[in-house]
Structure 1
Amino acid sequence: MSDDNRQPLVEGVTAAVVGVTDFGPHLDFFRGDLGFQVAAEGTVPAATADALWGSGPADVEVMALAAAGAETGRIHLVRVPEPIAPAEPPHNLDDGLIGIDMYARDIEAAHAEHGRSGRDWTTAPTTYGVAVGEREVQVTQGVCPAPDGTVVVFVQPAAVRGTEAWAVDPDRPFTELTSVVCHVPDADAEVAFWGPDGLGMSVWYDVVFSSPGFDTVAGLPSGTEMRLAFLAGEKTARIEVTSAVGEHRVDRRATQRPARSLGHSGWSVRTRDLAAALESVRRTGGRVLGAPVETDDPLHGRALVACTDTPNGISVTLWQSRN
């Protein structure tokens, strides 16, 4: 795609899919604490859900959460009555989906407020540097556990990269999701899948670094070397592809499947051209898991939808709006 004038096939990650046992605790956190709103709710019909995700013969209850009405960087809550694995937060050295990130306007104030309300963070706000070329980028992050094994990373950036939520409401404490994170054994394949010659996202940077501050935030052994590729489209959420040099721990990819798993279990990605996107998936080493399905549901509206895997087995629901 980089050699012609075609538009990128995707604009970013539209939503992180989060499996839930019960909507209530997630609404308390994402709506009550972080200011997200319920943008849509209802069910994905059984035939559609099973064709996409292999979820079985029942309709699937869902909610779409948005920050300040943003159409991207959303959270898709999917109720999973019989999960294939217990809820467990992933470690940053586990292969598969890791955290979901959003900006915090004042991360120290957020940490203090959550502490007063009894929502303890696993990692307090910590600043560390990432070497990008000849300069060092300063990042301040804190990690907060969310229900059902979901991991939320709050980021107070040195330089804000545009978000739809802050464009609409500059005073809100938190944005939509600004990035989603995966840790994979083959970072080259993952970057090629999403990058300019794949689905069309830009590689903002791709570095290998080591930082004591990052080791603290991520719970890594001292001196861990981590590759971080940051891919961006026109809109949030962006993608952080990570891969540790050396140790990889638990492989969670088989138990991170939409509508069958709890916590961060997949990505929903809108495309301008589903047929071309599926062709790109196959060409860059991913898998198309079934024929496209016509749907009209709370997560996608009227759309043509297909479920795919990246070359590293990350579940991605690709969809093209029919509205």
Structure 2
Amino acid sequence: MVWDNQTWMNEFILLGLSSDWDTQVSLFILFLVMYLVTVVGNCLIILLIRLDNRLHTPMYFFLSVLSFVDICYTNSTVPQMLIHFLSAWKSIPFHSCVFQMFISLAMGSTEFFLLGAMAYDRYVAVCYPLHYMVIMHGGLCLGLAVGCLVAGFTNSLMQTILIFQLPLCRNVIDHFACEMLAVLRLACVDISFNMAMVAISGFLVLMLPCFMVLFSYGQIVAAILRISSAQGRHKAFGTCASHLTVVSMCFGAAIFTYLRPDAGSSTEQEKMVALFYAVVTPMLNPLIYSLRNKEVMSALRRVLGKFSEEN
């Protein structure tokens, strides 16, 4: 990576979400609670899947990977944001900014690819239930998870290199984190090529998994409609409900923001979307998968029962 253009710039100043002190204190309390719920909830999901043998299935393997990605994603931006709420000088060192963008982009991209892989898992479970464990064997599950991570980190590395090779004229970022588009606005040169690469990258990261989801759920709906009993249809749909909720939430927000006919988005809108993916989604994922999933709740009761017996 070329750093010659950046040798004079030691840090960036982040404007954050508000300049009002009372508002910042209120936001600090709100996001601290959400952050703690996110970390505890996702760690609990990973722990339950690790401790309960009944959850050692492909679906819960992908769920544990999703929880790990969410923990990394929220930790890439939220702790720094919380510190800045109570700080008068909201600065971030140059290399920390680069690392933050790289990790947040990597985790965000990985999550979209992972949701596509999880949709394929649900497709196999509903459409080929008798061959599910044969098709979704350990090697395939691990390969899909690694592939999602490799694709996410590759996309992030490419974008981070392209952005930080640009000469930057200012060091004040109108955002609460080192977000890709916010940093691009600091460039002294024409960024048309970079914006084209962002569009291509966004299409691949967003639409390829989205097509996988649409294909998988199209096949799932067709298979469910062929089930004769209402109870069978309800059970088949129940296995997909939690994942479909998360997919609708994640892809819906991204498509509404980045793929609208009028294109482009305001700085405030970009902040809200970044908050949604960094804070809200990682917090809601474990709640959705646990509260809507009887197996996860049963595993929690079993683990708590064992813990109380030992004490």
For Structure 1 versus Structure 2, the TM-score category normalised by the shorter chain is under 0.3
Structure ranking higher on relative contact order (CA contacts 8 Å, 6+ apart)? 2
* Bigger fraction of residues in strand: 1
**TM-score w.r.t. length of structure 1:** 0.22
Give the alignment's TM-score, normalised by structure 2.
0.23
Query: Which is greater in Rg?
Result: 2
| Structure with greater proportional helix content | 2
